[in-house]
Every structure is written in structure tokens, then in C-alpha cells.
């Protein structure tokens, strides 16, 4: 199975790159290990179809390239709700502080229908031959402007390869022949994977009790297990949820214990109305083998994101390391993923 370009990973970088290549009539295939598209963009639905973002969520006005893509695809955004009182827990022995937030001077936005709407729109024009799910790339062999890419199911051939995997995951899960340069391996193994150690959760409700009581739904806590919390109602304000982050070490707990501690903290913050939830969802990204690769040493957030090594091409300018972490600006974020796709597209088009 041959193509001009083979893209590894069907996240935002991979799908936007494929969308651009298709518009330029350059043949390609995307190989995705998961059974779904999106990577760290992962919108889940509760039983009553409340969308909850387990991955990338917010867009700022500084994310100009992403906003241009959304405008091109005619995907509207809406402003993150923060109106009302926010809560700050500084100590477990003290009641939370009530903080009245001023009008949002630099609002954050969310995509109507969930962040996955962006990925679904990009993927909608791709055929089953172009977008291949449930296949994990295991090795890449290069000889004279030709790649053989081996997966768990098939062998593929391409003239150029673009990896959109987090660099640390790339170099630890795919065998290269010949090997990548030692310095590249060193940098990749010390590159932070954004959201890789995060735990996100969402909890849906039949009514927005926090809004009814003049709360914004925004919480910051030094106590935990919830560290940050935000309103996560849909753009029509007909589906209601709270969404936030848990302390990283909570991955050591069972899901039952995590849920119990979350509900207890919400009850302490908002009262008994917090007990009347309809569904609890969570995502422990460090347990996602197609996202996270553990390290024996601490890697700082955004460490080596946008490193000059990722701006280089390998194997006679035929292998490209792309993805959010490789972008020279907004590394790890959706804006970085878009910028990476645009950069690689220009190289392939030339």
C-alpha cells in the first residue's frame, strides 16, 4: 500500500495536514493506533448527551491560526462562562474564600458541539483508505527515498513520513532503521508531553445549581483532590456540567475512591445540591499508552517544546517530526498543533 506521504497520528496536526494535502492533491494515509480520531482532543458524551471535554478545551484570542481554521470550516465558538462568584480553597481547615470575578477582559472560548467538532469536520472528507484506525506503527525502515512502515496489521510504503506523536512517545514506541540521531533521541526523551500527566473529570447535572446560587462554577484549590473547576454547560445552556482537573497523584487511587472524594469536595464547596449529579466521567492521561510514556526523571511542563531539533528534517528531508510539542510557539496547545501542521504542509508542498 503506497502513498506519497504517510502521517502517524490522527490528532489535530495530522488531520489538518491531511485536509491541506487533500486540497493540494497530494496522496497520503493517516495511521492511528486508537479506535477514534482526536488524540488529546477527546469529547465524551454523558447518557443525556452532555458533552464533556476530557482533553483540549479552550481557545484564546491570541490563538489566531486556530481561529482562522475554525472560521474557514465555519465552526462557531462561544465564550466560557465565568459570571458570578469564584471559590478559592487555600487551607483544608478554613472555609473557601469567595471572590467576585470582574468581567472577562480576555475571554476563553469553546467550540460549539465540543472540540471534537473540529476533528470530525477535518476528517469528514477522508476515505477509509486515507484514514486508517486501530493500527499502531511499530517500525520504520528507510532506504533511498523510500520508507517501509510496519504496523500491527500491515506494511505500508511512502516517500515521506510525518510523525505527529508526542516526541517522547515516538522515540520509545517506534523502532527506526537506521536509527534517529542520538541528540534527537536525547531531546525527545526530555520533551514534556502536554496533558500527559493530567487527570480530567467532568460531572453532569440536570440543573445548574451553581448558576442559580450566583456561583460561576470556577474553583481553585490547594486542598484537593480537585485543583481547578469550571462551568462546562453547553453553548445553548441546556446541558449542565462542571469540568476540572484532579491532583496528579490521584491516579494511584481507584476510580471509586476518586469519584467519592470529588463528590465530597463538591458538596463541601456548593452544598447538598452537588450530590444530585447524573453522571461522572474522567480521563487519566498517563494511563493512555498512545499518549504518555513515563520517565524516570522529572520533566518540566513545556520542557523542550519547540526545540530547534524539531525544526529539522531527517533522512534526506523525508522524515518530519511534527505535533503540538514541536511548535516554536504555543507548544503543547491546539494553536501549536495548527502551526505545526501549517509548517509541515509548506515543506511538503514545496
pTM of the full predicted structure? 0.96
- Residue 84's contacts (CB-CB under 8 Å, 6 or more residues apart) are 100, 101, 210, 211, 214, 215, 216, 217
Q: CA angle at residue 189 from 187 to 193, to 5 degrees?
A: 100
- pLDDT per residue as tens digits for the range 162-191: 999 999 999 999 999 999 999 999 999 999
Listing DSSP states for 67-106 in one string gives HHHHHHTT--EEEPP--SEEEEE--TTSPPEEEEPPP-SS
State what percent of residues in the chain have pLDDT above 90: 93
For the cut 80, the answer to whether the pLDDT of residue 212 exceeds it is yes
Identify the pLDDT of residue 65. 98
- pLDDT per residue as tens digits for the range 287-322: 999 999 999 899 999 999 999 999 999 999 999 999
Work out the number of other CB atoms within 10 angstroms of the CB of residue 61.
10
Amino acid at each position: 500500500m503506497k502513498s506519497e506521504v504517510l502521517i502517524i497520528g490522527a490528532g489535530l496536526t495530522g488531520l489538518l495536514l491531511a485536509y491541506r494535502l487533500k486540497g493540494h492533491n497530494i496522496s497520503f494515509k493517516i495511521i492511528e493506533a486508537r479506535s477514534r480520531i482526536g488524540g488529546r482532543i477527546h469529547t465524551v458524551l454523558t447518557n443525556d448527551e452532555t458533552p464533556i471535554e476530557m482533553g483540549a478545551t479552550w481557545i484564546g484570542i491570541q490563538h489566531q491560526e486556530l481561529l482562522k481554521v475554525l472560521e474557514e470550516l465555519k465552526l462557531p465558538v462561544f465564550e466560557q462562562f465565568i459570571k458570578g462568584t469564584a471559590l478559592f480553597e487555600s487551607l483544608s481547615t478554613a472555609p473557601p474564600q469567595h471572590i467576585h470575578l470582574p468581567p472577562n477582559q480576555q475571554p476563553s472560548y469553546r467550540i460549539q458541539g465540543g472540540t471534537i467538532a473540529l476533528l470530525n469536520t477535518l476528517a469528514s472528507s477522508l476515505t477509509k483508505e486515507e484514514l486508517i484506525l486501530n493500527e499502531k506503527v511499530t517500525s520504520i525502515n528507510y532506504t533511498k527515498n523510500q520508507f517501509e512502515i510496519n504496523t500491527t496489521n500491515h506494511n505500508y510504503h511512502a516517500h515521506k513520513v510525518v510523525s505527529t506523536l508526542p516526541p517522547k512517545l515516538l522515540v520509545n514506541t517506534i523502532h527506526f532503521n537506521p536509527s534517529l540521531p542520538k541528540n534527537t533521541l536525547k531531546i525527545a526523551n526530555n520533551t514534556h508531553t502536554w496533558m500527559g500527566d493530567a487527570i480530567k473529570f467532568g460531572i453532569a447535572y440536570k440543573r445548574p445549581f451553581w448558576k442559580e446560587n450566583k456561583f460561576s462554577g470556577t474553583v481553585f484549590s490547594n486542598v484537593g483532590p480537585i485543583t481547578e473547576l469550571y462551568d462546562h454547560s453547553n453553548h445553548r445552556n441546556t446541558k449542565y456540567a462542571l469540568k476540572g482537573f484532579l491532583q496528579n497523584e490521584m491516579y494511584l487511587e481507584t476510580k471509586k475512591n476518586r469519584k467519592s472524594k470529588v463528590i465530597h469536595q463538591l458538596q463541601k464547596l456548593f452544598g447538598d445540591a452537588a450530590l444530585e449529579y447524573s453522571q461522572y466521567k474522567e480521563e487519566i492521561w498517563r494511563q493512555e499508552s498512545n499518549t504518555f510514556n513515563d520517565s524516570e526523571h522529572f520533566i518540566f511542563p513545556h520542557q523542550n517544546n519547540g526545540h530547534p531539533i524539531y525544526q529539522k528534517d531527517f533522512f534526506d528531508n523525508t522524515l518530519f517530526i511534527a505535533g503540538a510539542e514541536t511548535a516554536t510557539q504555543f507548544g503543547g496547545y491546539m494553536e501549536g498543533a495548527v502551526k505545526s501542521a501549517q509548517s509541515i504542509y509548506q515543506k511538503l508542498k514545496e
